[in-house]
Structure 1
Amino acid sequence: MKKQGGFTLIELVVVIVILGILAVTAAPKFLNLQDDAKVSAVKGLAGAMKGAAGITYGKAAVRGVDALPSTDSAAELTDIDGVSGAVKLAYGYPVAGSDGIEKVVDGLDTDDWAKDVSGANTYGYAGFDCVVKYTEATADDIAKIEVLGSVDGCESMNAN
């Protein structure tokens, strides 16, 4: 009679225990992927805002309106590609809000981003503590784009 080969009960239990330990240590990493994705999206938004503000400033400088405050009626650009209507400027950079930065950053004026989620001129996900804050340029300082929040990885990038 041939002896059948197979695993003993103890060997199966050991394998199940090892798989359980691996699952417990790996599961938290996979569960945090949504937060990591949101942080990356917010950082991407900050980069888009920085690029759009820089391009707008360049166009304003070429036209000679980069030194005008937002209260000056000539402080606006009307022919930015892909933007309908005038973009209001403060010292060459887009003003905060719907007449400025929201016009020049593609998709910022849609429902994809929540506005003023943790203070004035902040953009991010509702209920998520990682946002981009846009601060208008002043006579003494350029426009600032900051990533703020307490979520892991959120505070690691700040751009002017």
Structure 2
Amino acid sequence: MKKQQSGFTLIELIMVIVILGILAAVALPRLGSVAAEARAASINGALGSAKSSLAIVRALASAKGLTGDTAELQLEDEEIDLINGYPATVNDLLVAAGLEADFVASGANIYQRGNDSSYPNCTFTYTVPVAATGGGTATAGAITTANSNAPLTADDC
């Protein structure tokens, strides 16, 4: 009686390896894009939060009559320094938005922690207000992105 062999032939094993290689070649580029999309989604969420908190701080400052050159506003047990009713510094904006734990400021640019110089376009900018001292013109605080206020995309990050 002939003994039955068990196992796979060399051809079958090679075919499985080839199929796995093709799947990996298709899937790996998608995984790289997922990381960039996650960074863009994170910064877009922070951008929305910063814009909302800027509007809330401005509204509270107006309601309390704190729209002069400089003032201080208590917001959820945090003290926010104001100029013209807007957060006076980038860090004041981060505190007002509740983003200080996950985002950092470098100059006027706001980055997600850990991505400071790795992704220079994956950021948004807060232009701090200028007080009208010495007869100058007062300006408001403004938030912009590299895409002129458009949401950031995976290509940016």
Same fold (TM over 0.5): yes
Q: For this pair of structures, how many residues does the alignment match?
A: 141
Cα distance in 2 for residues equivalent to 1:31 and 1:11 = 31
Report the alpha carbon displacement of residue 93 of structure 1 after superposing the two structures with TM: 2.0
Amino acid at match of 1:46: L
Report the alpha carbon displacement of residue 97 of structure 1 after superposing the two structures with TM: 3.4
2:74 corresponds to: 79
**Contact 2:104–2:110 (Cα < 8 Å) also in 1:** yes
Report the alpha carbon displacement of residue 50 of structure 1 after superposing the two structures with TM: 1.0
Question: Which residues of 2 match residues 30-109 of structure 1 at below 5 A?
Answer: 30-66=31-67, 68=68, 72=69, 75-84=70-79, 86-90=80-84, 92-98=85-91, 100-108=92-100
Q: Give yes or no for the alignment of 1:147 onto 2:132.
A: no
Amino acid at match of 1:59: L
Cα distance in 1 for residues equivalent to 2:155 and 2:62 = 35
1:8 corresponds to: 9
Cα distance in 1 for residues equivalent to 2:104 and 2:75 = 25
Q: Deviations over 1:77-119 (max 9, x none)?
A: 33322213x52132x2212334x324313242x5x43422xxx
**Contact 2:128–2:141 (Cα < 8 Å) also in 1:** yes
1:123 corresponds to: 110
Cα distance in 2 for residues equivalent to 1:81 and 1:34 = 33
- Which of residues 109, 113, 136 in structure 1 aligns to 2:128? 136
Output the aligned Cα RMSD. 3.1
- Fraction of identical pairs, as percent: 26
Report the alpha carbon displacement of residue 14 of structure 1 after superposing the two structures with TM: 1.6
Cα distance in 2 for residues equivalent to 1:152 and 1:31 = 10
**Contact 1:43–1:147 (Cα < 8 Å) also in 2:** no
1:158 corresponds to: none
Cα distance in 1 for residues equivalent to 2:44 and 2:8 = 51
Q: Unpaired runs of 5+ in structure 1?
A: 156-160
* Cα pair distance change 1:115/1:94, threshold 3 Å: same
**Contact 1:87–1:103 (Cα < 8 Å) also in 2:** no
Q: Unpaired runs of 5+ in structure 2?
A: 131-136
**TM-score, with structure 2 as normaliser:** 0.69
**TM-score, with structure 1 as normaliser:** 0.68
**Contact 1:135–1:144 (Cα < 8 Å) also in 2:** yes
